[in-house]
A and B are shown apart, each in its own frame.
Chain A
């Protein structure tokens, strides 16, 4: 709750700073505000719990994920500063809307009530529709915003119908109450299942799982790259955590009904994501499909569910997000010099800037999931968990998917190291160097010492 209050104030301060003449304070203010929000996440709550008890709970699930999202947003703003100075004169509106959507994402990690869930989801999505279209002169960005808006609102309608049916069946919006009612063994009205199904469809749409993934490549491709980075990391985390909260607190009693469904969709997501990524010419579209595939691996952890899966999910998210931000920030740096977005822009990057290409290679290998990097441990933990829960066939499918993914991730690495370079040299600013080093260090350190994160999640915050 502290985090939500601080972030709201921060977003309004950012808007006011935009009106005033002190625009140089914009980014420092955001950094200070995000740090305060991070501290506030662990402090005792400002509002007494009795006021929020049926709506939000700041607990051992929400704290680590909220912190992760705040840190990721911090990193994204470190890139954003540079990105927007090159491209845009007024930035405070975009910054404020990013912060607003972050508030929605934070709510999605801590809701205990369907009403809160819906409001959090809408705050996040409405802000994202706008952000996707924030590059107004580009027709692709407009298309992305329009597509995302139309499909997103439609899926919201489906989700609402689901919530309504669940409310009709259980008479409650409270997740814990719904949970006790469903697992109590009483005969529930038959439309409860339809409600859970429709709710699942709505949430799966938001995290971009097959067969509700059709918007992902277009939106990720059309939106400004910085917003794509934000969507691929923070928004995906929020969606998956919301999913975890809903299912672990409310629908465990109806587990038989949705696990098979989810397992089939997880396999479909892994295969469609990986196979489609093979055919892409444009790097951003490839990354969009790769993020679909990663959604599939995350769904694996949701299907093979027990009390430990939350820490594995957290570890997976950290590894995936760090690598994704690394890849996208490299993409942005390379795109400053070369306009086209195909694989050829990476040709000979190793000669043009060896440090940049090393960072890109480390991030890509981590996304692939090869040892000793963080991505390997993340996949390993999730797969082992799935095998322990008896989903061997699912794990085999996921491993085949990972093998396919090697092809398209290594296409970039091959282009970087084995093709002849063009003449353009890329020079990095000190900040980009520091950031890239941070991504590389994190990816390696997390892979070697996974306990660093796994224990962090368990220390009973």
Chain B
């Protein structure tokens, strides 16, 4: 049963990710992106990471994508205003990302899925277990992340403020 859900979600996810790139209109791309986030959340649920799934939807599909939608609408992006890219740049991008794809596929090709031992712990992704890990083993990175946030906040204020006497 799990395996069918997995393949269904994966196909939907790959489809919507491709549609993000192919869509002509910015809004359509964004809606497909939200859809692919939801399918990713589905994968998290399959892996017993319920908390992560919920947070993923709240943060990405909720907060960040709404921000994206607003900025796309306010900036009024459309095909005409897009700067045309040269054929050379397109070709280079296709070759580069194609090479990355080949590398990843070849890395995964010889891999025998049955050799992994899946850990079936139904409790592994609950808030309780996550909290315990976060406040014991990973306490230090958790606290030091606050330096990252304060730096980003100070920077946002600095960049957003009007510079009167430069």
Q: Give the chain A neighbours of B151 by CB distance below 8 A.
A: 97, 100-101, 123, 126-127, 130
* CA–CA, A15 and B158, complex, Å: 12
Indicate if the CB atoms of B140 and A56 lie closer than 8 Å.
yes
Residue A345 at the B interface, CB < 8 A?
no
Chain B positions 144 through 166: 1 when the CB is less than 8 Å from some CB of chain A, otherwise 0: 11011011101101110001111
Indicate if the CB atoms of A122 and B137 lie closer than 8 Å.
no
Distance (whole angstroms) from the CB of A29 to the closest CB of chain B: 17
Q: Which range contains the number of A residues in contact with the other chain?
A: 35 or more
Q: Give the chain B neighbours of A194 by CB distance below 8 A.
A: 103-104, 107-108
Indicate if the CB atoms of B157 and A89 lie closer than 8 Å.
no
Residues of chain B in range 97-150 having any CB-CB distance to chain A below 8 Å: 103-104, 107-111, 115-116, 137-141, 144-145, 147-148, 150
Residue A116 at the B interface, CB < 8 A?
yes
How many contacts A-B (CB < 8 Å)?
90
Chain A positions 89 through 108: 1 when the CB is less than 8 Å from some CB of chain B, otherwise 0: 10001101100110110010
Q: Give the chain A neighbours of B139 by CB distance below 8 A.
A: 51
Indicate if the CB atoms of A119 and B109 lie closer than 8 Å.
no
Given contacts A87-B166, A119-B145, contact A97 B104 (CB under 8 A): no
* Closest chain B residue, CB of each to CB of A131: B155
| Choice from A8, A88, A133 contacting B166 with Cβ under 8 Å | A88
Q: Give the chain B neighbours of A101 by CB distance below 8 A.
A: 151
* CA–CA, A19 and B65, complex, Å: 35
* CA–CA, A365 and B93, complex, Å: 40
* CA–CA, A107 and B145, complex, Å: 12
Binding stretch for chain B, among A185-193, A275-283, A320-328, A397-405: A185-193
Residue A342 at the B interface, CB < 8 A?
no
Distance (whole angstroms) from the CB of A186 to the closest CB of chain B: 12
Indicate if the CB atoms of A119 and B166 lie closer than 8 Å.
no
Distance (whole angstroms) from the CB of B112 to the closest CB of chain A: 9
Indicate if the CB atoms of A190 and B155 lie closer than 8 Å.
no
Cβ contacts A to B, 19 pairs, < 8 Å: A55-B140, A88-B166, A97-B151, A97-B154, A97-B158, A100-B151, A100-B154, A103-B147, A115-B138, A116-B140, A119-B141, A119-B145, A123-B147, A123-B148, A123-B151, A137-B163, A189-B111, A190-B109, A190-B110
B residues near A, CB below 8 A? 103-104, 107-111, 115-116, 137-141, 144-145, 147-148, 150-152, 154-155, 157-159, 163-166
